[in-house]
């Protein structure tokens, strides 16, 4: 449990009971543990600020708190602000209260185009990774278009080397999907499994429990650290994070002529509108399609010349 959440459970009357109810209701609604962890931190921060449950506040107190979040630094974090509002909305929903109960503001959707790495930059990252483990990690994030959570959850049993497929199990939206595995990745993964004696999760990291250390599932922070450090070593000036490799996977497939519906399925998007953003960053040939009359002449030129 997060330290902030633990503090709120101890210092704010009724928060522990509210938190247990919040976790149960989020689970029933089909949201992930990660969603609960994120929202509970923001709810706990507000509870500690006022020393009472967020559901006991009036709209003016909520506005004061949101204003406080915006003013506490010269460059206010809109992400933190946004997730505070989302967390409160979810709390109200699970408590059976309307959004208007706390007069929460609407969050405008900021449309930003994804940052894309060139194929040369992908190659530079692969060459700059000193450890085989890190090369395989970057190869999977890009070559299979994986989310950070998906690469962390990969198990050896999910790899089908014979069919050259990777089975992604119960990812975002509780969905399974298959993505193709590169032959280059297969060779590297086989070598990595043998040298690292892996038997369950493909990637493992060191976790600390009290004073003891033991190997467990690779952490999100660990994956992010590897991607950032390897990109820096490769001399890439763009701010590279794990999702940029997924963005690059989708964009490069579209540039190679893969149908957008197929790309949607490979990414695991529920709505094709999410996938269509990559059409705005594709480097597609800028030329008009050929007139269908030209093809008719190409096919029938022999007949035409005979007339």
- Check which CATH number belongs to the domain holding 183 and give it: 1.10.443.10
What is the rounded CA–CA span in Å between residue 305 and residue 307? 6
pLDDT, tens digit (0-9, with 9 covering 90-100), for 103-160: 777 766 667 889 999 999 999 999 999 999 999 999 999 999 999 999 999 999 999 9
In CATH, what number is assigned to the domain containing residue 17?
1.10.150
Q: Report angle CA 130, 132, 137 to the nearest 5 degrees.
A: 100
Question: Does residue 242 share a domain with residue 138?
Answer: yes
Give 88's contacts (C-beta < 8 A, 6+ positions apart): 42, 43, 46, 54, 62, 102, 104
Run of H or E residues at 246: helix 242-255
To the question of pTM greater than 0.85 for the whole model, the response is: no
Question: Does residue 267 share a domain with residue 148?
Answer: yes
According to DSSP, the residues that pair with 155 across neighbouring strands are 201
pLDDT, tens digit (0-9, with 9 covering 90-100), for 40-78: 999 999 999 999 999 898 888 988 888 888 777 554 457
Please say whether the beta carbons of 82 and 107 come within 8 A: yes
Q: Which domain holds residue 13?
A: 3-101
Question: Does residue 256 share a domain with residue 157?
Answer: yes
Written as six digits, the tokens of 125 are 């990252």
Written as six digits, the tokens of 268 are 């695991």
Query: Do you know the residue count of the chain?
Result: 307
pLDDT, tens digit (0-9, with 9 covering 90-100), for 176-213: 999 999 999 999 999 999 887 777 899 987 654 444 44
Residue ending a domain, among 53, 72, 101, is 101
Please say whether the beta carbons of 294 and 173 come within 8 A: no
Give 176's contacts (C-beta < 8 A, 6+ positions apart): 167, 168, 169, 170
Positions marked active-site: 147, 172, 243, 246, 269, 278
Average pLDDT rounded to a whole number, residues 245-251: 94
Question: Does residue 160 share a domain with residue 276?
Answer: yes
Distances (CA, A) of 250 to 119, 122, 137, 233: 12, 13, 17, 24
Domain tally, the chain: 2
């Amino acid at each position: 449990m997060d330290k902030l959440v633990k503090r709120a459970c101890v210092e704010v009357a009724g928060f522990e009971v509210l938190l247990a109810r919040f976790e149960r209701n989020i689970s029933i609604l089909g949201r992930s543990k990660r969603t609960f962890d994120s929202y509970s931190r923001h709810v706990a921060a507000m509870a500690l600020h006022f020393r009472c449950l967020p559901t006991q506040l009036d709209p003016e107190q909520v506005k004061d708190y949101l204003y406080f979040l915006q003013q506490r630094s010269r460059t206010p974090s809109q992400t933190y602000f946004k997730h505070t509002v989302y967390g409160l909305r979810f709390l109200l929903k699970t408590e059976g209260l309307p959004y208007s109960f706390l007069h929460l503001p609407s969050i405008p959707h900021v449309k930003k185009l994804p940052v894309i790495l060139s194929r040369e930059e992908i190659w530079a990252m692969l060459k700059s990774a000193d450890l085989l483990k890190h090369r395989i990690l970057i190869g999977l994030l890009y070559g299979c278009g994986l989310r950070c959570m998906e690469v962390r959850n990969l198990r050896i049993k999910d790899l089908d080397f014979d069919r050259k497929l990777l089975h992604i199990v119960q990812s975002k939206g509780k969905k399974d999907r298959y993505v193709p595995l590169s032959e280059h990745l297969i060779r590297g993964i086989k070598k990595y499994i043998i040298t690292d004696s892996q038997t369950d999760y493909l990637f493992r990291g060191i976790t600390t429990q009290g004073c003891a250390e033991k190997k467990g599932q690779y952490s999100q922070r660990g994956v992010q650290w590897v991607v950032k450090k390897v990109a820096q070593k490769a001399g890439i000036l763009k701010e590279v994070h794990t999702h940029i490799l997924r963005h690059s996977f989708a964009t490069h497939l579209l540039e190679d002529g893969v149908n957008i519906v197929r790309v949607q399925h490979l990414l695991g998007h529920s709505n094709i509108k999410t996938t269509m953003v990559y059409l705005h960053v594709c480097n597609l040939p800028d030329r008009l399609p050929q007139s269908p009359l030209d093809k008719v002449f190409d096919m029938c030129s022999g007949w035409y010349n005979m007339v």
